[in-house]
Amino acid sequence: MCTTCGCGAGEVKIDGEHAHHEHDHVHADGTTHSHDHDHDHGHGAGGAHEHVHESPHAHAHAHSYAPAHSHAPGVSAKRMVQIEQDILSKNNAYAAENRQRLADRGIFTLNLVSSPGSGKTTLLVKTIELLKGSQPVAVIEGDQQTSQDAERIRATGAPAIQINTGKGCHLDAHMVGHAMGKLELPEDSLLMIENVGNLVCPAAFDLGEAHKVVILSVTEGEDKPIKYPDMFRAATLMLMNKCDLLPHLAFSVPKAIEFARRVNPGIEVIEVSATSGQGMDDWLAWIARGAAASRVQRQDTVDSLQRRVAELEGQLAARSA
């Protein structure tokens, strides 16, 4: 059982294949042990799913910055907090590996998060169509079941990898590392990760992305940011989606922005509609700025390595003289 939302740990599949994943089992006395499940999979960064069995153990994923909301029978709250910290620490190590791999190739990576039905996939399809010819794009799709969203992405011509989390409520850096290994990501490309629809657990899990982008549909309540503050606090950008429907709804855009900036004063906001095209130019410009920064960062790294090589060669030459 997930210590944040109560979901169970499911069998992970990447493009229909069983994925290697590591389990940390937490027993009623609070002790843990790990073991791996090895399946056929593409090259990836490795990863960890940690959970507490229900009986005789209890299943738990830890996804919160705050102490656990639930507990395993016989395990103290203090021990559960430690377990959560261990889980996030392992995930962060895999995320750091992903981030380095992406940075080395100048790949700008976004983690798209939202509640179910916000229009993430439709917005993503429209974005890819508008970027054609200007920016190579690849997508990692996260859903509990089916490959429908990945198929919609592939129909645009962009490569997409589907991750099915089973009963799991979010993607983690381990899954994404494996999926990255299945994608042939060119240098200076754009990688979009569409997370499982959930405004709770994905907030705590770094995947190695440059930014989390939270999508809030105007068909939802404008108070979502203060109801789910961790997600909006973790995001760099909020896309307020389906704005073409505003004339038909009692939704206050200023109030939604106020609530978002109450929990995250620095969050950027772009009002968009994949249907009407409203705000899409601003969204594409935001992506272009981030992608340009990734290319500069990669070039700076290359230049730094070249300078270091030149220094070492100079030192060797001086010793040989």
Q: How many CB atoms lie within 10 A of CB 250?
A: 6
CB 216 within 8 A of CB 256: yes
| The token pair that represents 302 in the structure block | 């290359």
Q: Where does the chain hold its CATH 3.40.50.300 domain(s)?
A: 105-296
User: Quick one: how far is CA 5 from the chain centroid?
Assistant: 18
Question: What would the pLDDT profile of 178-196 be if each residue is shown by its tens digit?
Answer: 899 889 888 999 999 999 9
Q: Return the structure tokens found at 264.
A: 């995250």
| 256-273 confidence digits (pLDDT tens) | 999 999 999 999 999 999
Question: To the nearest 5 percent, what fractions of the chain are helix, strand and coil?
Answer: 40, 20, 40
Q: Which two tokens stand for residue 305?
A: 């390595």
Tokens of 176: 């994404």
- At the topology level of CATH, where does 105-296 sit? Rossmann fold (3.40.50)
Whole-model pTM?
0.74
Minimum mean pLDDT range among 75-89, 123-137, 228-242, 261-275: 75-89
Query: 111: which strand partners?
Result: 193, 212
Residue showing tokens 């200007």: 134
**β-strand pairing of 32-37 with 21-26:** antiparallel
Concatenated DSSP letters of 78-103: HHHHHHHHHHHHHHHHHHHHHHHHHH
**Alpha carbon distance 27, 25 (integer Å):** 6
Q: Which amino acid is at 311?
A: E
Q: State the pLDDT at residue 303.
A: 64
